[in-house]
């Protein structure tokens, strides 16, 4: 495919049906905005130029997506899809018989493969339109064909006769033509319709008047061409996107207990026989080693998990690295900056932040560990708290190898616990703890003999 290609993406519309303060094209699917998704697909076609027509909330749209490799063009007032495309004309280079492909930012899941078929199907002297059959075509432009099945007209729902509304073949919004014709037709659109707008759908009519070919390409998979006009369609397309992604991952060897209850909003690398239980959400960059198991209702963001890691049910992990054979949860929170070396056990109701935990160490119940460096084979008893914050600054806690921290210990940082030290349960540690000794800090237990519980007066 050596013909130079221009791509125009229409993204200026008001998006009224979204009922949202956020511009429609900044809503997301799989955490990537609709506009960025379609631009990424456009980039994969290797065009000479991508033009995005923006208008409604354009400052916000451009500022949010300033990293995209596109030329921004402004449509000052939203006078229709044809008028939007017209704004791109000064930037469309017609040299070398280039083609121009028009896309809608609110149809972000169209595949590059489909777009290639549209480009291939563009007549040398005419226009190609992508259509599809929808079981519910409500709100969409219906495609009328003549007796020979050739293109006749596209009618918008608001302009349609009742019998035309029964037609299920619709225009997807995607069309392609040689740039020289496209530029010429765009400059000759009228606004003689119920909405008083300049319709892009008039282009093929202008082509017919000039006896140019109009090629209809009917897409079998209507799901990828579904436009997003409201939040119901946004949710439907999110599910479609997630289903496509899950299908690909399963074919690559991932075990998803229920692909309908799995969300990946980013990129996942995984080893052999990884198992993901229902209702797991993965975000950002995630890497899972061989045989990793992720329990139900867990959220993981930007983490690297080694081989044989087990995350039990209901955990949240962010920006952390877990070595081989670590176990986390159920109900644990691993916060950014945490490094668990191999075979670390983090149990229920444990929160751990910005800490490094050595091989074989166990923090099994109800603890808060923040800004700590913990050695190997340490046992951190239930209810242990690092008091890392004095109200102004954060301080470090250092625990040596094979230390034993009794239950309900408070480690008031900055503090260091020596190697092999033992701290008795219930201690508030404010000074460094020597290695290999028992340290305790608590009142002696006393017994009051012959004491009687108060009883109710008769
Ligand atoms: C449009 C088509 C309809 C097609 C449907 C497919 C027209 C007249 N109608 O209808 O035939 O079946 O898409 O989804 O083309 N936009 C602008 N400036 C404007 C108006 C719209 O940039 O002045 C942009 C929008 O941001 C959006 C796209 O064009 O990305 C489509 O506009 P929208 O109003 O959603 O058109 P539909 O009513 O869906
Ligand atoms: Ca639309």
pLDDT for 13-47, tens place per residue? 999 999 999 999 999 999 999 999 999 999 999 99
Binding site membership of 172 for ligand 1 (Cβ less than 6 Å): yes
Instruction: Assess whether pLDDT exceeds 90 at residue 111.
Output: yes
Beta-carbon contacts of residue 189 (< 8 Å; ≥ 6 apart)? 82, 83, 86, 198, 199, 202, 203, 206
> Residues 175, 128: contact at Cβ < 8 Å?
yes
Binding site membership of 23 for ligand 1 (Cβ less than 6 Å): no
Binding site membership of 153 for ligand 1 (Cβ less than 6 Å): no
pTM attached to this predicted model = 0.94
Binding site membership of 50 for ligand 1 (Cβ less than 6 Å): no
Q: Separation of 242 CA from ligand 2 center, angstroms? A: 21
Say which CATH superfamily domain 5-225 falls into.
Spore Coat Polysaccharide Biosynthesis Protein SpsA; Chain A (3.90.550.10)
Instruction: Assess whether pLDDT exceeds 70 at residue 280.
Output: yes
Binding site membership of 53 for ligand 1 (Cβ less than 6 Å): yes
Give CA–CA dist 10/75, Å, rounded.
Answer: 10
Reduce the DSSP state of residue 204 to 3 states and report it.
Answer: helix
pLDDT for 213-251, tens place per residue? 999 999 999 999 999 999 999 999 999 999 999 999 999
Q: Separation of 187 CA from ligand 2 center, angstroms? A: 22
The pLDDT value given to residue 94:
86
Binding site membership of 329 for ligand 1 (Cβ less than 6 Å): no
Which two tokens mark 54?
């923006």
Catalytically annotated residue among 83, 181, 365, 436: 365
Q: Residue 83 CA: which ligand 1 atom is closest? A: 23
Residues, CB within 5 angstroms of ligand 2 (ion): 106, 227, 229
The pLDDT value given to residue 1:
52
Which of 230, 120, 133, 119 is CA-nearest to residue 172?
A: 133
Instruction: Assess whether pLDDT exceeds 90 at residue 2.
Output: no
Residue of the nearest CA to atom 19 in ligand 1?
80
Beta-carbon contacts of residue 412 (< 8 Å; ≥ 6 apart)? 387, 428, 429, 430
Q: Residue 78 CA: which ligand 1 atom is closest? A: 23
Residue of the nearest CA to atom 33 in ligand 1?
13
Q: Separation of 227 CA from ligand 1 center, angstroms? A: 9
Give CA–CA dist 405/402, Å, rounded.
Answer: 10
Active-site residue, 260 included: no
Q: Separation of 229 CA from ligand 2 center, angstroms? A: 5
Binding site membership of 347 for ligand 1 (Cβ less than 6 Å): no
Give CA–CA dist 140/155, Å, rounded.
Answer: 9
The pLDDT value given to residue 364:
98
458 pLDDT band, cuts 50/70/90, is confident
Find the helix or strand (DSSP H, E) in which 102 lies: strand 99-104
95 pLDDT band, cuts 50/70/90, is confident
Percent of the chain with pLDDT over 70: 100
Give CA–CA dist 365/350, Å, rounded.
Answer: 6
Give CA–CA dist 107/77, Å, rounded.
Answer: 21
| Total Cβ atoms within 10 A of residue 216 | 18
Give the torsion through C-alpha atoms of 419, 420, 421, 425, to 10 deg.
130
Percent of the chain with pLDDT over 90: 97
C-alpha distances (whole Å) from 307 to each of 341, 343, 362 are: 12, 10, 18
Give CA–CA dist 93/90, Å, rounded.
Answer: 8
183-190 average pLDDT score: 97
Strand partners, 99: 5, 178
C-alpha distances (whole Å) from 143 to each of 67, 218, 270 are: 37, 11, 45
Which two tokens mark 49?
């130029």
Give CA–CA dist 266/283, Å, rounded.
Answer: 5
Pocket test for ligand 1, best of 140, 173, 229, 231 (most atoms within 8 A of CB): 173
Q: Residue 156 CA: which ligand 1 atom is closest? A: 11
pLDDT for 131-173, tens place per residue? 999 999 999 999 999 999 999 999 999 999 999 999 999 999 9
Which two tokens mark 64?
């949010």
Per domain, the residue ranges of the chain are: 5-225, 245-439
> In a 10 Å sphere around its CB, with 0-12 CB exposed, 13-18 middle and 19+ buried, how is residue 59 labelled?
exposed
**Which DSSP symbol is given to 269?**
E
**Which DSSP symbol is given to 389?**
B
The pLDDT value given to residue 193:
87
Pocket test for ligand 1, best of 8, 11, 13, 191 (most atoms within 8 A of CB): 13
Q: What's the fold here for domain 245-439?
A: UDP N-Acetylglucosamine Acyltransferase; domain 1 (2.160.10)
What Rg do the C-alpha atoms of the chain give, in angstroms? 31
pLDDT for 345-390, tens place per residue? 999 999 999 999 999 999 999 999 999 999 999 999 999 999 999 9
Q: Which bound ligand lies closest to the C-alpha atom of 82?
A: 1
DSSP string for residues in 123-184: -TTEEEEEEEE-S--TTSPEEEE-TTS-EEEEE-GGG--GGGGG--EEEEEEEEEEHHHHHH
Give CA–CA dist 124/223, Å, rounded.
Answer: 29
Residue of the nearest CA to atom 25 in ligand 1?
13
Q: Separation of 170 CA from ligand 2 center, angstroms? A: 12
Q: Separation of 429 CA from ligand 1 center, angstroms? A: 67
Instruction: Assess whether pLDDT exceeds 70 at residue 278.
Output: yes
């Amino acid at each position: 495919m050596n013909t130079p290609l221009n791509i125009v993406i229409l993204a200026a519309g008001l998006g009224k049906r979204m009922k949202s303060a956020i511009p429609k094209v900044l809503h997301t699917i799989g955490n990537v905005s609709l506009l960025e998704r379609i631009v990424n697909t456009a980039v994969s076609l290797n065009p000479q130029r991508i033009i995005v027509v923006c208008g409604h909330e354009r400052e916000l749209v451009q500022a949010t997506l300033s990293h995209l490799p596109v030329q921004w063009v402004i449509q000052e007032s939203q006078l229709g899809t044809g008028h939007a495309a017209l704004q791109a004309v000064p930037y469309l280079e017609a040299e070398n018989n280039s083609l121009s492909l028009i896309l809608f930012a609110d149809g972000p899941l169209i595949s590059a493969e489909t777009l290639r078929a549209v480009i291939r199907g563009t007549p040398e002297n005419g226009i190609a339109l992508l259509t599809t059959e929808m079981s519910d075509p409500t709100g969409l432009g219906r495609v009328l064909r003549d007796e020979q099945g050739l293109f006749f007209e596209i009618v918008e729902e608001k302009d349609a006769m009742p019998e035309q509304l029964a037609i299920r073949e619709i225009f997807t919004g995607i069309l392609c033509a040689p740039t020289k014709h496209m530029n010429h037709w765009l400059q000759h659109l009228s606004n003689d319709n119920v909405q008083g707008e300049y319709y892009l759908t008039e282009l093929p009519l202008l082509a017919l008047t000039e006896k140019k070919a109009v090629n209809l390409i009917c897409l079998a998979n209507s799901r990828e061409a579904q436009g997003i006009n409201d939040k119901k369609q946004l949710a439907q397309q999110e599910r479609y996107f997630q289903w496509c992604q899950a299908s690909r991952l399963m074919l690559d060897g991932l075990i998803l207990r229920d692909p309908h209850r799995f969300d990946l909003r980013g990129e996942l690398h995984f080893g052999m026989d990884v198992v993901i239980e229902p209702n797991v959400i993965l975000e950002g960059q995630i890497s899972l080693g061989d045989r990793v198991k992720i329990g139900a209702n867990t959220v993981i963001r930007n983490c690297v998990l080694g081989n044989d890691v087990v995350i039990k049910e209901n955990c949240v992990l962010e920006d952390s690295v877990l070595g081989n054979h670590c176990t986390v949860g159920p109900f644990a929170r691993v916060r950014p900056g945490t490094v668990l070396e191999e075979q670390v056990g983090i149990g229920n109701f444990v929160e751990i932040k910005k800490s490094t935990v050595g091989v074989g160490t166990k923090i099994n119940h109800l603890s808060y560990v923040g800004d700590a460096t913990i050695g190997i084979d340490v046992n951190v008893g239930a209810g242990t708290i690092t008091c890392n914050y004095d109200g102004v600054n954060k301080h470090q806690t250092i625990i040596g190898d094979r230390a034993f921290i009794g239950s309900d210990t408070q480690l008031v940082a900055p503090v260091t616990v020596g190697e092999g030290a033992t701290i008795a349960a219930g201690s508030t540690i404010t000074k460094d703890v020597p290695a290999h000794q028992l340290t305790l800090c608590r009142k002696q237990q006393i017994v009051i003999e012959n004491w009687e519980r108060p009883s109710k007066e008769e």
